[in-house]
Structure 1
Amino acid sequence: MKKTIELKISGMHCQSCEKLIAQELAELNGVIDSKINYSSGRGLVSFESDKISEAAIIGAVKNAGYESEIISAENNGEGGGFEGFNGKQAEPPGLKKEFPANSDLLPSEKSLNLSLSGMHCSSCAAIIEKAVKKAPGVNKVSVNFAAEKAFVAFNANIIGAEEIIKAISKAGYKALEINAKDSEFESRKRREMISSQFKKFIISLVLSLPMIYFMFMDFFVWLPGRAALFPYAGIISLILTIPVQFIIGAGFYRGMWSSLKMKTFNMDSLIAIGTSTAFFYSLANLAIYFFKTGSVIGIDGSKVPDLYFETAAFLITFVILGKWLEARTKGKTSDAIKKLMGLQAKTARVIRNGAVQDIGIEEVKRGDIVMVRPGEKVPVDGKVIKGSSSVDESMITGESIPVEKNAGDNVTGGTVNKTGSFEFEAARIGNETVLAQIIRLIEEAQGSKAPIQNFADRISAWFVPAVIGIATFTFIVWYFALGASLTFSLMAFTAVIVIACPCALGLATPTSLMAGTGKGAEYGILIKGGEPLESACRVNAVIFDKTGTITKGKPEVTDIASFGSIGEDKILAIAASLEKQSEHPLAEAIFGYAQEKSVKFEDILNFNAIAGHGVSGEIKGEKYFLGNRRLIEDVLGLPLDRFGKKIIGLEEQGKTVMTLASQKEILGVVAVADTIRTTSGRAVERLKKMGMKIFMITGDNERTAKAIAGQAGVENVLAEVLPEDKAKEVRKLQETGFIVAMVGDGINDAPALAQANLGIAMGSGTDVAMETGGVVLMKSDINDVATTFELAKETMNKIKQNMFFALFYNVAAIPIAARVFAGMGIVLKPELAGLAMALSSVSVVTNSLFLKFFRPEKRNYVSLVAPFVMVALFGLIFLEFAKFSSRMEESGAGEGATMSILR
């Protein structure tokens, strides 16, 4: 039996960690496939449950050096797979599914969402994934470094959540199961983490500040206390550096140890190696001085030479400062989820046994009668049974106009009641509510990977080992080939180690994806991951379904004509009786019109819905047919030539004509019209300006289809297409070279949505359509289709900008850190190199945040200009660091004058 589990993994720092976990899992017998996502802190593992247990998979992740916990699990049977976890939108989740987006889970298995801590770069994510994947029973695991979350799918019969968390803990990271009922959990965790980082920074800074004073004593001999303190600078610096190095910086050593267990390196390794080099080199020099002089105090009012404890202390201080700034900034990328969580009501007023009770939202049961007063939030989803009001649904749909609610109407949890009071019956509670599912969908989307991130993954796989190799090569060249002093060579080695920043590269995609999908949610556009978002940028053809998409989906009867021996009232009665059992929108229009006219309905026997044609049934022994031209001419063989002028005239007005016939003759027609949405024309115009080819697809005849298409400004019409053939039409366009987006809302659209490169489902459509679409429009406003493409392109631009900046930073910074330009007076002290590294990550995250300025149909000039300003600003800061380092070396605060570096 094939099974899949989703893991939440903690401790990943970069893509290298992700790769480690995947490699560890691949070595297990019985593991079919695994997808690790450091950016979401989650992973998915598919395996044969008769060959390996979930506990073994969790153990594998643990062996990789990461902590993880199972979020959810599912039996996949013989088929399945879970490519969707990385964004493939052929099988994304719908809002009705309880399991996470793109996880492909089945109810027989369990999933686990974990909140992670301790990760410093994308390599940590890989380590956690590898550790969790080793545990038996783990099917799927993905870790999101940026979101600090993990998703785990597992077999509950083999492994439990506690074992998964322990596996992550043994890998050197912390994991906590996310309590879906506690909307404050994530924000509280974020605040605690930011507070912890800030405290570490303050403590580290306080301990490091005296060493700045000692550095200034090199410059200014007149400073107070110099004569008394300067000889003791070495031993005092050692005492102050020890807690910074081994208590504040302990996490870096734990991270390095976890990566070493997995036979790799991560960012923690770089920091630990760099600071240890400076610390232990200084300690060795102090020890040598002690053995030579018998004292650790400087002679003749000078300090002990060649000590660089301040380098180690300030390196850690600046890195922690960068992590604090990064955490603060990253938290803002998930503002959309925080806002949605804030919409959830805390209590509900229910009527039980005739008495009104105020209870916690988690205590509401399905079937409870809930009372809502003006100004209160609707606590859960349900159907109004008494009273009426207007409800503000803007926080869910983005639509600002309140919606009238009466008995029989559905209400959604998290929306706000405006005027009247009403009572409703609770239908969906807890994780079943629309709001809870939207939050889950966005979380999973933000944790998914865009295909462009594979490039970053490949670079990250060798990045850290390559940096260590470059640093080692730098030392060898300076010390052995060029004859530089040991101090100079080690400082160059340390600067290269700490200035390289895999974090910036690891954050480039997920932070933009988080900001972009969050911004989409504000407009009622739910993008289900990186794959749909990137697909949207490649689309050059858009197919709109007609009914319910181009049109409002609420057709009305406009004409009834009799062609035979029975009158118009009888035609309406027969037609309405036949359509009474149909669920088609046209059937509802005819049936509703007949009800308004108080028509007497006939009993129907042997009812049959003929897909793509119409319906049939018997009334008092006579068989009747109601449908389109194909049904009358092709199935019944009755010619329509005699009535062609009437029918064509109605069709040219954009009306859908339903013909009523017996087995012998044509009796008459019922014409139904569905008006186009007011936003359809504007949406088509915007898409054309983007250079897209627009199509409309429908089962209607060509004349009616062209009339509707003409009103919307659509020039290409695919008419008389049977429901089962819509996907074929999409495929035909794809075969001609088009990258196709399909926009629809009906159950008949689901295959076409799945076939398209990008499926866009209207929110008012069926659950199946919403499950199949890679994008869901909550407002059912096709003008949002154009907004989706605008947002996707701007998000992808941000990703590309971030990746360019991260690569450019590392390519430009490493040679300077290696002191290639030392002969020109350009050097970079290790502690300033560490600060530059930290600022590079903050710059990438900040650039992603400019997506918050996105507005539909408007150029985001702030976002366009910001990257250039940031690059210029960062370049200036970097140059100032280099100048400052050079001045320090030339003045003797460093190892010696730049020009006298040789032994």
Structure 2
Amino acid sequence: MSAQNTARLNIAGLNCASCVRRAETALSKVPNVTEAHVNLASKSADVHYDGALSPVLDALRGAGFGVETQEVLLDVEGASCASCVGRIEKAALAQPGVMAAAMNLASGQLRVQMAGGDAGDIARAVTDAGYHARAHTPDTPQEDRTEAELRSLRRDLTLAVVLTLPVFILAMGGHLIPAFHHWIAMTIGDTANNIIQFVLTSAVLVGPGRRFYRHGVPLLLHGAPDMNALVAMGTFAAWAYSTVATFAPGLLPEGARGVYFEAAAVIVTLILLGRLLEARAKGRTGAAIKALMGLRPDTARVLTDAGEIDRPVAELQVGDIIRLRPGERIATDGEVTGGDSYVDESMITGEPVPVQKHLGAPVTGGTINGQGTLTYRATRVGSDTVLARIIDMVQAAQGAKLPIQGMVDRITAWFVPAVMAAAALTVVLWLIFGPDPALTFALVAGVSVLIIACPCAMGLATPTSIMVGTGRAAELGVLFRKGDALQSLHEVAVVAFDKTGTLTEGKPALTSVALADGVDRDALLRQVAAVEALSEHPIARAIADAAKGPLPTVDGFQSITGYGLRGTVQGADLLVGAERLMLREGIEIAALAPAAADLARTGATPVFAAVNGQLAAVLGVSDTVKPSARAAIAALHAQGVKTAMITGDTQATADAIAADLGIDHVVAGVLPEGKVAAVQDLMSHGKLAFVGDGINDAPALARADVGIAIGTGTDVAIEAADVVLMSGDVGGVERAFAISHATLRNIRQNLFWAFGYNVLLIPVAAGALYIFGGPLLSPMLAAGAMALSSVFVVTNALRLRRAGGTA
């Protein structure tokens, strides 16, 4: 039976006594809940349950409540292989309130999703499992921890080399120069030689090799061995056997009294060398985060009543007025209050062309001012800035676990015990069937199997590729808000685009006005513009901007979502909107229908205006297609991906734009709520990505298999998306696909190497080649091969730093 757990859940939507009863009833019906108490005052529930928490959460959500969750990040030390990852996650998931746990071996961080519970309990549980866990401290960057690890490894490796080199020379020198062995025998003697090797090797194991025993032995005693345990067992077996052969040779058969101190010492040295190379390479996987953090200036020049003062960026407040000189980096997000200049935003958006900034223009912290001087008012500071949010997104994506990792987890769950069993079987078979001295052969083969099969490469195969791939994407202005979107995007068969602001610039202009008989153009345009000026829609702004002179007052303004606008202007009742608004209100449009059709055929959007129930005009509004749209559609087609466009515009207008861009399928005349239905219909053709930028795109972004938000769009759209294109350039879609394909290809290469390496070399280490007249693999060579396997995986992942081309 599972252990009893208790979780305190914060419940959203708990407003009255009936809500309490509904929540408690829902919880009581969950089979694994033994007791539940809901508290209206604290809006929480104390739940006693067995097993997993997810059925409890599902029951509350099914009853119409939300459950508040939080994400906790822990730094974990001592994790070295894929089996460690599984044990750490299992320890975290066993804690009350934990919904999900993902350990990233490459970054050494555990990301936990909680609904109740205590982060301290999780850290203690992971520590009790044999690892050291503590709450993540943002003021200790990943690169600082990496540098500390590198210093420790350099120190240990240097000492190991100094101690191991004499052992290696004393033991192996005679194989290279036969006279050297005779010289040793005639000078210090074989016994003294063995004692010197014993002393030096013992120093290696107690000193530089202590890390393997410190982590490996407790886990071995817990019945959960990892790669450190394998190394500890292998080196201890070689050392112990050699120690007996040196000080109590009578306990061994006469032909099996050889010593293998050099094997134990060299194994430790080579694995430390591999760890050092691996740590250096892993440090480079976080280069993108380090570069982003480096964009933050230390101080800003703030204008105060006492004059200009340099203030630390961490102390800036919203509303501060900051002066920016030529060539300086912008300290925080803001709005220009004076001056004119061009700003290089390439480090945020990936776009190389500087952007002009003038009065009222937004500026982004971390970008670089050109030759002009600006003053700007701080609008966001600290963790609310765009740069801070980008860093958070990238870090979250880098810590994600892709579905492909599930296969690795299932295999590594039994891999280390299987290796130990294989090593034991190898020893037994050599003792039974091996030639004399069988004990020596059994020792060499058994130690080689233990050492060569460490699953480090398996654990690093996926997370290192994710870290480098998402970091490279960020450099190109593509943010994977959810790491699993990397894999999902790779499987997408159809990409559907919103039109306005996504495929087009989102800055439409009034291009034509067709009037009904007897209507005054200027008077009508002012009336229509007065109504449109109260709307935030891009088409409404285009019409409002086209009117001349002061606009009249509007009474009774009403926005009719998906249809248009209504208002009373100068005593007249105005309706302005799409053709469907006129049809809904029973207004005859036949007189201007041909003009509307002509506008639609040219790609313009027809907007109808009616005064006092009579059609007065049809206005043509055109929106320029983004320069990158055609190339993006062509690139997707080249990858075998189908394209679609979903828009509320007329069918004729949508068809004209789709024909121009080469889009395969068009869904037009769609109301905002209809976009979700359109997305669902298109999903029948395969996994679908939806690209949009507006508030009305948020439901469709959330419903699609992969939601891609244009970064210049609304916060609501961005929050609903899986991928964010910071530049607003639809060409970023192709870059996102390129990064996804490259990363998944890289992961498969790494997994092929990691699994193939073990499948091929474990039999070799066990002595398969010896049976056919080949060599018996030395434990030293096994250690070198094991260390190089991890280095290969990390180095291969680093190739992704060149993926995706240029922005």
Q: 1:151 aligns with which of 101, 111, 135?
A: 111
In structure 2, which of residues 400, 403, 415 is the aligned counterpart of residue 448 of structure 1?
400
Distance 1:345 1:214, change over 3 A: same
| 1:630-645 equivalences in 2 (<5 Å) | 630-633=580-583, 635-645=584-594
Matched, 1:173 2:155: no
Q: Per-residue deviation at 1:207?
A: 0.8
Contact 1:138 1:159 in 2 (8 A): no
Structure 1 residues 30 and 440: CA distance shift in structure 2, 3 A: farther
Among 271, 282, 295, the alignment partner of 2:231 is 271
Residue 71 of structure 1 corresponds to which residue in structure 2? none
Identity %: 39
Distance 1:221 1:664 in 2: 110
Partner of 1:204: 160
Partner SS for 1:676: coil
Once the 2 structures are TM-superposed, how far is the Cα of residue 151 of structure 1 from its aligned partner? 2.3
How far is the alpha carbon of 1:278 from its aligned partner?
1.1
Question: Are 2:203 and 1:246 equivalent residues in the alignment?
Answer: no
Give the whole-Å Cα distance in 2 for the aligned partners of 1:290 and 1:80: 74
1:811-822 pair list within 5 angstroms: 811-822=759-770
Corresponding residue number in structure 2 for 1:552: 505
Matching residue within 616, 623, 631 for 1:674: 623
State the shift of 1:122 in Å.
2.2
Q: Does 1:192 align with 2:148?
A: yes
* Counterpart-to-counterpart distance in 1, 2:680 and 2:590: 35
* Closer/same/farther in 2, CA of residues 811 and 139 from structure 1, 3 Å limit: closer
Partner of 2:717: 769
For 1:348-747, list aligned pairs within 5 A: 348-482=300-434, 485-594=438-547, 597-598=548-549, 600-633=550-583, 635-735=584-684, 737-747=685-695
SS at 2:402 equivalent:
coil
Number of positions where the alignment pairs a residue of Structure 1 with one of Structure 2: 763
Q: Do 1:499 and 1:814's aligned partners in 2 also have CA atoms closer than 8 Å?
A: yes
The CA distance in 2 between the partners of 1:451 and 1:140, in whole Å, is: 14
In structure 2, do the counterparts of structure 1 residues 773 and 407 end up closer, same or farther at CA, with 3 Å as the change threshold? same
1:810 to 752, 758, 761: 758
Structure 2 SS opposite 1:760: strand
Q: Which residue of 1 aligns with 2:20?
A: none
C-alpha contact (below 8 Å) 2:289/2:394 kept by paired residues: yes
Q: What TM-score does the superposition give when structure 1 sets the normalisation length?
A: 0.80
Per-residue Cα deviation, 1:626-676 (whole angstroms, up to 9, x for no partner)? 01111112x111221122222211221111111111343111122111010
The residue that corresponds to 2:244 in the other structure is 284
Deviation at 1:134, TM superposition (A): 4.6
Q: In the alignment, is residue 796 of structure 1 matched against residue 752 of structure 2? A: no
Q: Are 1:847 and 2:796 matched, yes or no?
A: yes
Aligned residue for 1:51? 47
* Counterpart Cα distance in 2 of 1:230 and 1:246: 26
**CA offsets 1:726-758 (integer angstroms, 9 cap, x no match):** 1111111222x3221111111111111122121
Residue 167 of structure 1: how far off its partner (Å): 4.7
Aligned 8 A contact 1:816 1:826 in 2: no
C-alpha distance in structure 1 between counterparts of 2:672 and 2:221, whole Å: 56
Q: Is 2:567–2:575's contact at 8 Å kept on the other side of the alignment?
A: yes
Residues 159-216 of structure 1: CA deviation (Å, up to 9, x unaligned)? 465x655554444434454443x4x722121111112112111111111111111123
Match of 1:119 in 2: 79
Moved more, 568-577 or 661-670: 661-670
Please tell me whether residue 781 in structure 1 is matched to residue 741 in structure 2: no
Cα distance, 1:395 vs structure 2: 0.5
Partner of 1:101: none
Change (3 A) 1:325 1:477: same
**Shift in CA distance, 518/649, structure 1 to aligned 2, threshold 3 Å:** same
Q: Distance in 1 between matches of 2:506 and 2:656?
A: 16
Deviation at 1:468, TM superposition (A): 0.8
- In the TM superposition, residue 829 of structure 1 has moved relative to its aligned partner by 1.0
User: In structure 2, how many angstroms separate the alpha carbons of the residues matched to 1:366 and 1:77?
Assistant: 42
Contact 1:586–1:672 (CA<8 Å) still a contact in 2? yes
Q: How far 1:397 sits from its partner (Å)?
A: 0.4
2:187 matches 1:228: yes
- For 2:338, what is the secondary structure of its paired residue? strand
Shift of 1:712: 1.6
Residue of structure 1 in register with 2:169 after alignment: 213
What amino acid is the match of 1:698?
T
Residue-by-residue CA offset, 1:680-734 (whole Å, 9 max, x unaligned): 1111111111122211111111111111222222242211111111111111122
Per-residue displacement from partner, 1:38-85 (whole Å, max 9, x unpaired)? Answer: xxxxxxxxxx961369xx99xx9xxxxxxxxxxxxxx9993399xxxx
Tell me, in whole angstroms, the C-alpha distance in 2 between the residues paired with 1:809 and 1:29. 46
1:78 aligns with 2:67: no
Contact 2:67 2:115 in 1 (8 A): no
Is contact 1:253-1:268 (8 Å) kept?
yes
Change (3 A) 1:164 1:560: same
1:119 and 1:243 map into 2 onto residues whose CA distance is 24
In the TM superposition, residue 239 of structure 1 has moved relative to its aligned partner by 1.2
CA distance in structure 1 between the aligned counterparts of 2:648 and 2:256, rounded to whole angstroms: 89
The alignment's C-alpha RMSD in Å is: 3.1
Is 1:750–2:698 an aligned residue pair? yes
CA deviation after TM superposition for structure 1 residue 817, in Å? 0.2
Q: CA deviation at 1:543?
A: 1.0
Is the Cα contact below 8 Å between 1:676 and 1:711 reproduced in 2?
A: no
> Which range moves more in the overlay, 514-523 or 362-371?
362-371
Q: Kindly tell me: are residues 425 and 178 of structure 1, through their superposed partners in 2, closer, same or farther at Cα, counting changes over 3 Å? A: farther
Q: State the match for 1:95 in structure 2.
A: none
- Aligned equivalents of 2:91, 2:751: Cα separation in 1: 28
Cα separation, 2, equivalents of 1:759 and 1:693 = 16
Q: What residue is the counterpart of 1:97 in the other structure?
A: none
Distance in 2, matches of 1:226 and 1:344, equals 66
Rate the CA distance shift 1:309–1:413 in 2: closer, same or farther, 3 A. same
In the alignment, the residues of structure 1 paired with residue 502 and residue 373 of structure 2 have an alpha-carbon distance, to the nearest angstrom, of: 33
CA distance in 2, matches of 1:337, 1:4: 33
Query: CA offsets per residue over residues 254-306 of structure 1, 9 Å max, x none?
Result: 322443465322111211111111112222233323899xxxxx9xxxx9942
For the 8 Å contact 1:550–1:712, the answer to whether it is kept is no
Q: Is the 8 A contact 2:8 2:47 kept in 1?
A: no
> In 2, distance between residues paired with 1:52 and 1:343?
47
Distance (Å, rounded) in 2 between the aligned partners of 1:407 and 1:843: 53
Deviation at 1:782, TM superposition (A): 1.3
Please give the alpha-carbon distance, in whole angstroms, between the structure 1 residues aligned to 2:386 and 2:67. 19
- Local SS of the residue matching 2:575: strand
Aligned AA (1:487): T
Kindly state the Cα deviation for residue 454 of structure 1 after the two structures are TM-superposed. 1.0
2:265 aligned with 1:313: yes
CA–CA distance in structure 2, aligned partners of residues 30 and 248 of structure 1: 51
User: What's the CA shift for 1:387?
Assistant: 2.3
> Is the CA contact (8 Å cut-off) linking 2:451 and 2:782 kept in structure 1?
yes
Q: Take 1:677 and 1:217, find their aligned partners in 2: how far apart are those partners? A: 71
Is contact 2:156–2:208 with CA below 8 Å preserved after alignment?
yes
Whole-angstrom distance in 2 between the partners of 1:553 and 1:772: 20
C-alpha contact (below 8 Å) 2:230/2:454 kept by paired residues: no
